[in-house]
A and B are shown apart, each in its own frame.
Chain A
Amino acid sequence: MRKISIDPVTRLEGHGKIDIFLNDEGNVENVYFIVPELRGFEQFCIGRLAEDMPVLTNRICGVCPEAHHMASVKALDRLFGVEPPPAAKKIRELLYMAFYVTDHTTHFYALGGPDFIVGPDAPPSERNVLGVIRKVGLDIGKEVIGTRARNHRIIEMIGGRGVHLTGGLPGGWSKSLSKEELEEIKFNAKKNIDFALFSLKIFDDVVLKNPVYKELIMSDVYIHKTYYMGTVDEHNSVNFYEGKIRVIDPEGNEFVKYDPADYTKHIAERVEPWTYLKYPYLKNIGWKGFVDGPESGIYSCTPLSRLNVSDKIATPLAQENFEKMYGALSDKREDGRYKPVHHRLATHWARLIELLYASEHMLELANDEETALSNVRTIPGGIPAGVGANGSPEAVGIGSVEAPRGTLTHHYVSDEKGVIKKVNLIVGTTNNYAPMTMSIKRAAEKLISKGKVVREGLLNRIEMAFRLYDPCLSCSTHSLPGKMPLIVKIRDKNGDAIKTIKRNSWD
């Protein structure tokens, strides 16, 4: 066997790199959070059949294939001009709730939890899920693994495959659910509710009752007063599967509510020369740089953002917890809505409330008689193509869902035979690229002053700033929070590196 050594610097070239620029006074001027680029997806799709897109796009990312599958199949409903029957919509949504339960559970216990439950200043060797288990008990670890296992089983049962789903079709779903399957789902949804309530209790006992952690949540290091975005139903309750996109301003006023198909009227993308990823912003406010406030078009799209844009949550236990969180962190406005919570670390709390909502809604859907109906597909009659810009026949399909990491939009253009001509995707995380950059900058500002750098804890504080967004950058930077190979370069005003702080698993 050959002995090899791997240089993390080589491997990290262009990956998970943060450049901090200082000004003449030695204070933070700018922060560049650079992420790698995956190229050629549109080119890869052009010429393929539209109906292949749900199984193709769910391979973009191994972390949330379910979200891509759902956004894609919803785009196809529109492209083919078909309305899925009620059972199909509910089956899709049911699967999507199971996905949310696994995703939010994993994030909280593996990534968010360690900072709070074990402590932000605990040594990295303890600040991990094992540290959480040691602190909270072995049973919680088994519950986390058990929750993942039972919901993965449901995803496989409904979706046809565990990883890359095949169930979604334009106009519906490929199978109906039997009585036995629905009984199994109900049984598991109840377990999910118990688990979500238990997780919120841990958050209450360990985090909220600890003044140090509470202070951390309230600390101005992690506050940004941006616009917020999320999908709501007709009652302005949070919805992961469908509805209108609602955007509120930093004061909590509704700025706009639009059909996902109109996203290009509201969202523009900023290109910066130093990174491949584009920064989406609100077109009708404009790009004012990496600043918050009502004049800046930067918005966030996270679990906290989704709750900020919602008047309420449609399930009773999640609503109770929604009231509790906003009661603790916000005030009511004159119109009865809560003001938005700007404390970014509260995103972890919001994520657990969403976990509870997903669990409760899963049970509602499994109990819903319409979910059990056997008609799960409206067969498309053809493609209602109009006339495209160059005079040739053209059909458009735009679909969106709330991915755990933000609104996910798939936009396809095909010819009259359904052959793809154009593809545009706005993936969940990119919505948060600008706020993430701001959060990193803020954390850096607190640790660097007049050229003096507090090395101790710099990396973790910076990581905490973006970990709360649960970023999935170009589906993925292959970086690892907690133990993440990360390079922070501090540069003077001429761009010369004056200090490099590295941490990686090979050290």
Chain B
Amino acid sequence: MKNAYPKLNPKTVVIGIGNPILSDDGLGIKAVNVLRSFYADKRENTGDGSCVGFMEFTEASTGGINLMEHMAGFQRAIVIDSIVTGRHKAGTVFKFIYPDIPYTRNTVSTHDMDLPAAIEIGRYLGISLPSEIIIFAVEARDVANFGEVLTEEVEAAIKSVVSEIQLMLGFR
């Protein structure tokens, strides 16, 4: 069978993951939206887009195989998710570099597997996957109530996640 995914190209994908209507679980989606609009403006303002063209912003709602598929064809992946350790203050930002990653809320899928297993399978099957995978996780407070608003501490943390990713992507 032909590989269903494109060959590796020098691009970064930023993936926000979570449920946008489940309070703090939606922070990944919200953060990626902030980044997307920031760089959209940039493209307009600079008119060049050379660097901007090398990044893509996307949303995912499930982890496991699906998340791995979103990374296919990129050289670097940055994932933004919520995490519930129960030991840290809400809004605490963590940065993990694959393969040294814990279970964040949405990088595993109940219906298939966790991200490291999905990446192992993807590589085994010859899918081009990023050599660098970074996960930003923010300690969530409320992931049990439906709602579109983040709790205050988590909302505030988006700023630091966004600015750190901007540093990595350039064009701050």
Residues of chain A touching chain B, judged by Cβ–Cβ distance below 8 Å, are: 1-2, 4-7, 10-11, 13, 36-41, 43-44, 56, 59-60, 62-63, 65, 103, 106-107, 110-111, 128-130, 133, 138-139, 141-143, 145-146, 148-150, 152, 163-164, 470-473, 476-483, 485, 505-506
A123 to chain B, nearest CB (A): 15
Instruction: Tell me, yes or no, whether B103 is within 8 Å of chain A by CB.
Output: yes
Enumerate B119-168 residues with CB–CB distance to A below 8 Å: 120-122, 124-127, 144-147
Compute how far the CA of A470 lies from the CA of B109 in the bound complex, rounded to whole angstroms: 12
5 nearest CB pairs, A to B? A62-B61, A10-B86, A110-B112, A149-B4, A44-B146
| Structural contact, B59 and A472, CB atoms closer than 8 A | no
Instruction: State whether the Cβ of B110 lies closer than 8 Å to any Cβ in chain A.
Output: yes
Which of B1, B69, B84 is in CB contact (< 8 Å) with A139?
Answer: B1
With an 8 Å Cβ cutoff, the count of chain B residues facing the other chain is 45
Which residue of the partner chain B has the closest CB to A138?
B125
Contact of B110 among A11, A56, A476 (CB under 8 A): A476
**In the bound complex, what is the Cα–Cα distance between A63 and B113 (angstroms)?**
13
CB distance from A136 to the nearest CB of B (A): 13
B112 lies within 8 A of A150 (CB): no
Q: Does B12 contact A (CB under 8 A)?
A: no
Closest to A143 in B: B1
A6 and B113 contact, CB distance less than 8 A: no
- When the two chains form their complex, are residues B21 and A60 in contact, meaning their CB atoms are under 8 A apart? yes
Once the chains bind, are B19 and A59 in contact (CB under 8 Å)?
Answer: yes
B85 at the interface (CB under 8 A from A): yes
Asked whether B87 lies within 8 Å of A129 as measured between CB atoms, the reply is no
CB pair B85–A10 under 8 Å, yes or no, is yes
Closest to B61 in A: A62
Contact partner of B144 (CB less than 8 A), chosen from A37, A60, A142, A150, is: A37
* Residues of the B chain whose Cβ atoms lie less than 8 Å from the Cβ of A111: 111-112
Name which residue of chain B comes closest to A479, CB basis.
Answer: B110
Which positions in B face A, CB cutoff 8 Å? 1, 3-5, 19-22, 59-62, 64-65, 69, 84-88, 94-95, 102-103, 105-106, 108-114, 117, 120-122, 124-127, 144-147
Q: Are A145 and B111 in contact (CB under 8 A)?
A: no
| Cα of A73 to Cα of B99 in the assembled complex, Å | 42
What is the distance, in angstroms, from A217's C-beta to the closest C-beta of chain B? 22
For the complex, give the distance between the alpha carbons of A200 and B147 in Å. Answer: 43
How distant is the Cα of A483 from the Cα of B3 in the complex, in angstroms? Answer: 28
Which partner residue on chain A sits nearest B139 by CB separation? A4
Q: From residue A15, how far is it (CB to closest CB) to chain B in Å? A: 9
**Alpha-carbon separation in the docked complex, A330 to B21 (Å):** 45
User: For residue A143, which residues in chain B have a CB less than 8 angstroms away from its CB?
Assistant: 1
Q: How far, in whole Å, are A129 and B106 apart by their CA atoms in the complex?
A: 20
| B62 CB contacts on chain A under 8 angstroms | 62-63
| B124 / chain A contacts, CB cutoff of 8 Å | 130, 133, 138, 141
Q: Judge whether A11 and B4 touch: CB under 8 Å.
A: no
Contact at B4–A145, with CB atoms within 8 Å? Answer: yes
Taking the closest CB of chain B, its distance from the CB of A125, in whole angstroms, is 10
With A62-B61, A110-B113, A149-B5: A39-B146 Cβ-Cβ less than 8 Å = yes
Tell me the complex Cα distance, A164–B20, Å.
Answer: 11
Contact yes or no, A6 B87, CB < 8 A: yes
Given A44-B21, A59-B19, A479-B110, A163:B59 Cβ within 8 A: yes
List the A residue with the shortest CB-CB distance to B113: A110
Q: Shortest Cβ distance from A252 into chain B, in angstroms?
A: 31
Tell me which of B61, B110, B146 contacts A65 (CB under 8 A). B61
**Minimum C-beta distance from A241 to chain B (A):** 22
Q: Which residues of B contact A40 (CB under 8 A)?
A: 145-147
Cβ contacts under 8 Å, B108 to chain A: 478, 480
Determine which of A10, A472, A478, A479 lies in contact with B87 in the assembled complex, contact meaning CB atoms within 8 Å.
A10
Chain B residue at minimal CB-CB distance from A483: B114
Contact (Cβ within 8 A) A142 B20: no
